[in-house]
Structure 1
């Protein structure tokens, strides 16, 4: 597998996709990633949805300190980034919705667990 090399350094571990800015010298893609996961409730929502699909009220119950408005904004941001998806369905003429991780969301969880392992091994106080 060919790896992308910039200035004699491997910049990413996958096939080169430089035309889509994966090898940005100023780490803009990493900053974008950090912005997503650094939103106050994003990681908690991702963690809950990693365990189970949830409706809005169930998520709000898990995140009691999060206002409904902030929860809606955070969910919409995660949907926009294709990390979670909203499923809408009908049951007995009542419309229900639930949220779950996408494949990208599950991949993100794997990356986050790697970061957690690294943090425990090297950054623990």
Structure 2
């Protein structure tokens, strides 16, 4: 007598990009401090791959086993994109406020920040 496998873990396939999405989502958070640019790129790539795999999963959900990895990676990519965008905007603001030369001197930055807070 043949026993059916209800959870489909033994017979199901893995989504092709789920692990890559998870790794890219983690890296987008880790690299958000690289002026925000690298984290944005990795997060966007992770979201594009996640969208492709989500479409594949929605066609036949019972055929795939690692959708949770895909979903976690997508959430991490969104967090990485938000953090990277905030860091990038902060960097642009600091360059506009202090200039590239001014950012090279930490004491000058502290003095300008004190002046801005005193106003």
TM-score of the superposition, structure 1-length normalised? 0.26
Q: Greater helix percent: which structure?
A: 2
Which protein shows a greater Rg? Answer: 2
Flag the structure with higher strand content: 1
Structure with the bigger RCO (C-alpha within 8 Å, sep 6+) is 2
